[in-house]
Structure 1
Amino acid sequence: MARINSKMTMLFKLLLVLSLVLVVFTAERKLMNVIVNDGVPQGAIQCKSLYSVQDGDTCDDLAQAFNLTMSTLNFLNPNLDCDNLFIGQWTCHNLWSFF
């Protein structure tokens, strides 16, 4: 009988530890929702700085003006077609991050 209680206690402790690990992992995942990729946060993000494309602007001009790499500019503006920029097109250059 003592062995059964000992095994049950051990099993209970193991389940308790696994539950705690799961809770901590879930909390950390929520806190670390922003994953860095080429210096650009991903996850729950919202643009906080927009720019309206002007006549003669190119993607290189935009990246240089806002001190961004081309990969960052493309990440911030996934639908941006650098060969077909149009006047008045909104582009994002800075993000808010939400956890």
Structure 2
Amino acid sequence: MAGISDNRSAFLVLTLALLLVFTIVESRPGRFAKASVPTCDSVFGVRSGDTCFGIAQSFALSTAEFSSINPNVNCAALFVGQWLCVVGSA
């Protein structure tokens, strides 16, 4: 029975060591490319009847620019009072 217990202990130690190694490797800065986070300098509150395309046109933004500074916006589900970025960088 002592052999089985020793094997389980060794397996547990090995598993924890591997987990520690992977955690250290993943947390090293510069190891992997980081996603850029858009910055917003000015926002616009959605009003009744507004669309993403219309808002983008109003602020002289292409649809690509609008999407890049509002990456998580679902244009099919805009709601009144929602804040959208209209001046910023991706």
Task: State the TM-score bracket (shorter-chain normalisation).
Answer: 0.5 to 0.7
The answer to whether residue 63 in structure 2 is matched with residue 70 in structure 1 is yes
Aligned in 2, Cα 1:74/1:95: closer, same or farther, shift over 3 Å?
Answer: same
Q: State the superposition RMSD in angstroms.
A: 2.1
After the TM superposition, which parts of structure 1 deviate over 6 Å for at least 4 consecutive aligned residues? none
Looking at structure 2, the residues matched to 68 and 85 of structure 1 have their Cα atoms a distance apart, in angstroms, of 18
Say whether residues 1:60 and 2:60 are aligned partners.
no
Secondary structure at 2:44 match in 1? strand
Question: Using a 3 Å threshold, how does the CA distance of structure 1 residues 71 and 95 change in structure 2: closer, same or farther?
Answer: same
Please give the alpha-carbon distance, in whole angstroms, between the structure 1 residues aligned to 2:76 and 2:38: 26
Q: Does 1:91 align with 2:84?
A: yes
The verdict on how the C-alpha distance between 1:44 and 1:86 changes in structure 2, with shifts beyond 3 A counting, is closer
Distance in 2 of aligned mates of 1:90 and 1:48 = 12
CA shift, 1:46, in A, is: 2.5
Question: Hey, what does 1:11 align to over in structure 2?
Answer: none
TM-score (norm 2): 0.55
Work out the CA distance in 1 between the residues paired with 2:51 and 2:75: 7
Task: Quote how far apart the aligned CAs of 1:44 are.
Answer: 6.5
User: May I ask how many residue pairs the two structures share in their alignment?
Assistant: 56
Secondary structure, aligned partner of 2:50: coil
Task: Give the fraction of aligned pairs with identical amino acids, expressed as a percent.
Answer: 38
Which protein is richer in strand relative to its size?
1
